[in-house]
Amino acid sequence: MQIADKKIVLIHYTLKNLDDEVMDSSEGAEPLAYLHGTGSIVPGLEKELAGKKAGDKINVEVAPEEGYGELNPELIQEVDRAAFEGVDNIEVGMRFMAQTAWGQQPVVVTAVSDETVVVDGNHPLADQTLKFDVEVVEVRDATEEELEHGHAHGEGGHHH
């Protein structure tokens, strides 16, 4: 069975940056399960997996615009330290949920001064070319419930 929209796909993957540093991997864990055609994985990888079948292996580079996007300067903001009421020790690298015009947004602290804190709402892998090594483990039809919920259930997917 080939990978196409409305198919559940199980993959083992290793994600590297352009310096071949491993950023993420399913090695030693269950394969990642996703519902193809729903944008559950980065668009460039989903596009490259279309038409593949169990046992296929691919190595693909995904440009930022087909991955986690290009760096958006509007998502980097300097905010008054008072906005972090109740947090005594703010350090670079700390993560928070910020309330924005678009709802809750995860941000990471990139700079701290006595009066202000700089936060970045870009995905940590934004603006990076991604290298994926992928092995397709399984391809199957999605159940009605999976289609209704928009994601894979069971092993490697979402459990209710």
All structural domains of the chain, each given as residue ranges with its CATH number in brackets, are: 7-68+125-149 (3.10.50.40), 73-120 (2.40.10.330)
Helices (H) and strands (E) in the chain, counts: 2, 9
pLDDT of residue 101: 76
Model-wide pTM > 0.85: no
pLDDT of residue 154: 76
Token couple for 160: 């209710």
Torsion of CA 108, 112, 115, 121, to 10 degrees: -20
pLDDT of residue 156: 58
Instruction: Give the DSSP per-residue string, 69-135.
Output: ----GGGEEEEEGGGGTT-----TT-EEEEEETTEEEEEEEEEE-SSEEEEE-S-TTTT--EEEEEE
What are the 10-residue block averages of pLDDT along the chain, 160 residues in total?
97 97 95 95 97 98 96 93 90 90 89 95 94 98 94 69
